[in-house]
């Protein structure tokens, strides 16, 4: 995972634009302004107009993405008109497309903008088509939509039930040489430890970031993705030994070779904890 990529993506409702700056101040490494699930149908036009005015006033303090409404909805065309205007003003880092199920879905967005795209995959069809989605040239990153996927599958939204789908996304992103994907949200708002555990588990399974729905989730998310002291100690020892060559060596009773050395470099790239900098 590149250290320059965000680890946390915090959703902010498009109707509450004043929260964008507060989200960055709270430690969000990227903000996703949401025109989809956070806005009721009868309020979408007003929220879009409010967001348009906010973006005209100036760029945000960091990487601001926009989650538009899905392809085929009544709001997609108007959302894309806003994207085009914001892109000309240089106000957006990119676009998140919900309900992505194919490379053609992403192509429909990129036909109207050359901004980077995050494909939010949250259906059985999307998971089955991960290899196809991963081949789109405008794709910046994939994100895992656990809640909608669980609903589509008729199963519980838990790691146990969705592990196969999560690992499929990690696998296809790696195979396509994409950045590590973004894991779905944790719905716990008043306890830090479950969020930290979710983030740490996502990191162990190969995810590179996490979607967040409340500023309180940011510190435990950053902590969960940061390598532990023991991991950093191990990586330091491995890289010190690697200075003598990349061939097979023995470190602390463990045989290391080039793949292990590369893994140590990956761990070092994830530290220190982004929330502490």
DSSP-assigned states of every residue in the chain:
--TTS-SEEEEEETT-THHHHHHHHTT-SEEEEESSTTS-GGGHHHHHHHHHHHHHH---SSEEEEE-PPTTSTTHHHHHHHHHHHHHHT--SEEEETT--SHHHHHHHHTT--S-EEEEE-SHHHHHTHHHHHT-TTEEEEEE-HHHHHHHHTS-SSHHHHHHHHHHHHHHHHHTTPPPPEE------S-HHHHHHHHHHHHHTT--EEEESSGGGHHHHHHHHSPPHHHHHHHHHHHHHHTT-SS-EEETTEEE-HHHHHHHHHHHHH-S-GGG-
- In this structure, of 44-53, 211-220, 255-264, the range with the lowest mean pLDDT score is 255-264
pLDDT digits (tens, 9 = 90+) for 107-116: 999 999 999 9
> How many domains does the chain divide into?
2
Mean pLDDT for the stretch of residues 58-82: 91
CATH code, domain carrying 174 = 3.20.20.60
- Residue 274: is its pLDDT beyond 60? no
- Is residue 205 domain-shared with residue 260, that is, in the same domain? no
- Is residue 122 domain-shared with residue 32, that is, in the same domain? yes
**Residue 252 within a domain:** yes
pLDDT of residue 239: 74
- Is residue 181 domain-shared with residue 266, that is, in the same domain? no
- Is residue 97 domain-shared with residue 168, that is, in the same domain? yes
pTM to 2 decimals? 0.85
- Is residue 134 domain-shared with residue 268, that is, in the same domain? no
Label residue 147 by pLDDT band (50, 70, 90). very high
pLDDT digits (tens, 9 = 90+) for 161-181: 999 999 999 999 999 999 999
Label residue 231 by pLDDT band (50, 70, 90). low
Label residue 3 by pLDDT band (50, 70, 90). very low
- Residue 123: is its pLDDT beyond 80? yes
**Residue 21 within a domain:** yes
- Is residue 140 domain-shared with residue 267, that is, in the same domain? no
pLDDT of residue 230: 67
Cis peptide before 71 (omega within 30 of 0): no
Contacts of 227 (CB under 8 A, 6+ apart): 235, 267, 268, 270, 271
**Residue 266 within a domain:** yes
- The chain-wide mean pLDDT, for the chain, equals 89
- Is residue 138 domain-shared with residue 40, that is, in the same domain? yes
- Is residue 241 domain-shared with residue 199, that is, in the same domain? no
- Is residue 269 domain-shared with residue 204, that is, in the same domain? no
Label residue 276 by pLDDT band (50, 70, 90). very low
Domain that holds residue 202: 8-225
- Is residue 154 domain-shared with residue 244, that is, in the same domain? no
Query: How much of the chain exceeds pLDDT 90, in percent?
Result: 75
- Is residue 120 domain-shared with residue 41, that is, in the same domain? yes
- Is residue 62 domain-shared with residue 110, that is, in the same domain? yes
């Amino acid at each position: 995972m590149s250290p320059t990529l965000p680890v946390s993506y915090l959703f902010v409702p498009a109707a509450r634009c004043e929260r964008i700056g507060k989200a960055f101040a709270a430690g969000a490494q990227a903000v996703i302004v949401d025109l989809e699930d956070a806005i009721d149908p009868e309020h979408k036009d007003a929220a879009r107009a409010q967001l348009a005015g906010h973006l005209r006033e100036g760029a945000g303090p960091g990487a601001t993405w926009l989650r538009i409404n899905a392809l085929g909805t009544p709001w997609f065309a108007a959302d894309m008109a806003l994207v085009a205007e914001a892109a000309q003003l240089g106000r957006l880092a990119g676009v998140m497309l919900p309900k992505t199920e194919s490379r053609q879905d992403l192509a429909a967005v990129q036909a109207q903008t050359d901004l980077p795209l995050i494909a939010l995959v949250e259906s059985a069809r999307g998971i089955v088509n991960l290899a196809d989605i991963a081949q789109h040239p405008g794709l910046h990153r994939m994100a895992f939509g656990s809640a909608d996927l669980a609903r589509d599958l008729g199963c519980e939204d838990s790691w146990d039930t969705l592990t196969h789908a999560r690992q499929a996304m990690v696998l296809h992103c790696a195979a396509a040489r994409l950045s590590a994907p973004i894991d779905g949200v944790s719905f716990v708002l008043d306890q830090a430890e479950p969020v930290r555990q979710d983030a740490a588990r996502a990191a162990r399974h190969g995810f590179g970031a996490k979607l967040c729905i409340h500023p309180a989730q940011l510190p435990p998310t950053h902590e969960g993705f940061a390598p532990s002291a023991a991991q950093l100690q191990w990586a330091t020892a491995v890289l010190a030994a690697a200075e003598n060559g990349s061939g097979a060596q023995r470190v602390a009773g463990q045989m290391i070779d080039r793949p292990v050395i590369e893994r140590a470099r990956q761990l070092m790239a994830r530290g220190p904890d982004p929330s502490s900098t």
